Amino acid sequence: MGRPPCCDEHGVKKGSWMPDEDKKLTDYIQKHGQGNWRRLPKLAGLDRCGKSCRLRWTNYLRPDIRRGKFTDEEEKLIIQLHSVLGNKWSTIATRLPGRTDNEIKNFWNTTLRKKLLQMGIDPVTHQPRTDLSLLSSSTSRLDSSLQLQVDAARLIELHLVQNLVRLLTCSSPAPNLDLIRLLGSAVPKNHHQVNDLFALTPQLSSLVNGSLGLPSLAPVGQQILSVNGGQTAAPSSADDSSSESMMTSKDCGTNSGTIPASVTAPSLVSSPENMSKNETISLEGSTNTPTSPPFEAWDALNLDDFGWKEIIDQMSPWLNAP
DNA sequence: AACTGACGCAACCGCACAGTA
DNA sequence: TTACTGTGCGGTTGCGTCAGT
């Protein structure tokens, strides 16, 4: 089946836009607003496909577009958001008023990506690159704010695992030991890594608690470490007892079987009024109801390297159990 | 002055998803 | 339920500009 590309039509102009075309498009939208993009070219007297018109308007002609160099703050924000969201350019763009997803994407691909690589940071994972012989020298050049963002992203991952563990151990039906073991293997293998993170607590507290809306930090580290049975090595898959010792019912508190509503994953910048409710990355709304897809919002967190998707996949049927 | 390669940006393409008849 | 349409998104391409030789 499939549907013909919208730009297949013959006689449709491609390539750079001429000033008179811009004027026609702008005039039309100012008069009639953005309506049906497919019909717009004909109505506006343009030899373009609707898609091309939409792109031209949203990426270039829109009056609220801010042009010019990205500021340092914007740069840091993009890196920070990308570390959590990945290539969700449109989502990132909602946090940078006046910037388009295309502009941010281009800026990332042409500038920021290279910058991170030069600093020895993998632009995909936002972790220090391990494939470089020059790693030891380059990591010493890590910009402190960038490193802080990397640490913050890692911390968010720890929070997610903490709450998964709580959910698995505290809710009915009975805890799923296989899943808990899977979670245990997902947290950092070396607990020094966790300790290093929490050594930064004063900075991370302000960053995470101030802007991410996450709960207090210390218990997370303690619980994550307890998930690993206090060992630095990954839990043995043959050792069921280690998973049983991970968490006891007293850890469940009053939020048995739920992810606490206070655990909202990253609301990374301080302009929530600019976001619609749907754009908020939050675990709220996925709580308390095992029959609802509990972790949809986590997709946005792009934690592929963490292996959590496998965990979620395995949890789905279990959570939907009566 | 001419050439060339790198770079940045605008635009295009294909796909996915939501809405609707 | 299905087919179709409209829209949005992310990846990629191509062109113009500019610095270096």
Q: What rounded mean pLDDT belongs to chain A?
A: 57
Locate A216 and state its tokens.
């207090």
For residues A60 and A146, the model is more confident at: A60
Q: Does residue A221 fall inside a structural domain? A: no
Residues A38 and A56 in one domain: yes
Q: Which of A10, A31, A61 is the last residue of a domain?
A: A61
Distance A20 CA to B6 C1' (A): 32
**Strand locations in chain A (E):** none
Number of domains within chain A = 2
* A101 CB below 7 A from strand C atoms: yes
Cross-strand bridge partners of residue A128:
A121
Between helix A177-186 and helix A144-170 the angle, nearest 10°, is: 170
For residues A112 and A250, the model is more confident at: A112
Cross-strand bridge partners of residue A121:
A128
Q: Does residue A113 fall inside a structural domain? A: yes
Contact A184, A228 (CB under 8 A): yes
What is the mean predicted confidence (pLDDT) over A122-132? Answer: 75
Locate A139 and state its tokens.
């990591």
Q: Which stretch of DSSP H or E encloses residue A143?
A: none
- CATH number (domain holding residue A88): 1.10.10.60
Residue A182 CA to residue A177 CA, distance in Å, equals 8
* Domain span at A106: 68-128
Distance A112 CA to C18 C1' (A): 20
Q: Which of A61, A88, A117 is the last residue of a domain?
A: A61
* A106 CB below 7 A from strand B atoms: yes
Q: Does residue A254 fall inside a structural domain? A: no
For residues A136 and A156, the model is more confident at: A156
Residues A41 and A76 in one domain: no
Q: Does residue A46 fall inside a structural domain? A: yes
What distances in angstroms separate CA A134 from CA A124, A130, A169, one per listed residue? 19, 9, 43
* A228 CB below 7 A from strand B atoms: no
Residues A107 and A86 in one domain: yes
Distance A101 CA to B10 C1' (A): 13
So what's the pLDDT on residue A174?
44
**In chain A, pLDDT over 90 holds for what percent of residues?**
1
- CATH number (domain holding residue A40): 1.10.10
For residues A106 and A312, the model is more confident at: A106
Residues A79 and A112 in one domain: yes
* A16 CB below 7 A from strand B atoms: yes
pLDDT in tens, A11-59: 678 888 888 888 888 888 888 887 788 888 888 888 888 888 888 888 8
So what's the pLDDT on residue A237?
34
Strand nucleotide closest to residue A2 (CA to C1'): C4
Length of chain A equals 322
Strand nucleotide closest to residue A15 (CA to C1'): B11
Q: Does residue A291 fall inside a structural domain? A: no
Residue A287 CA to residue A283 CA, distance in Å, equals 7
Locate A315 and state its tokens.
């949890």
**What letter would DSSP give residue A71?**
P
So what's the pLDDT on residue A159?
54
pLDDT above 80 (res A88) = yes
Q: Which nucleotides of B are covered by protein (CB under 7 A)?
A: 7-14
The residue type of A66 is R
Q: Which of A61, A93, A113 is the last residue of a domain?
A: A61
pLDDT in tens, A61-71: 888 888 888 88
Q: Which nucleotides of C are covered by protein (CB under 7 A)?
A: 3-12, 15-16
Q: Does residue A50 fall inside a structural domain? A: yes
Distance A71 CA to C13 C1' (A): 28
* A102 CB below 7 A from strand B atoms: yes
So what's the pLDDT on residue A164?
54
* A6 CB below 7 A from strand C atoms: yes
* DSSP output for A174-202: ---HHHHHHHHHHS-SSHHHHHHHHHTHH
pTM score of the predicted model: 0.53
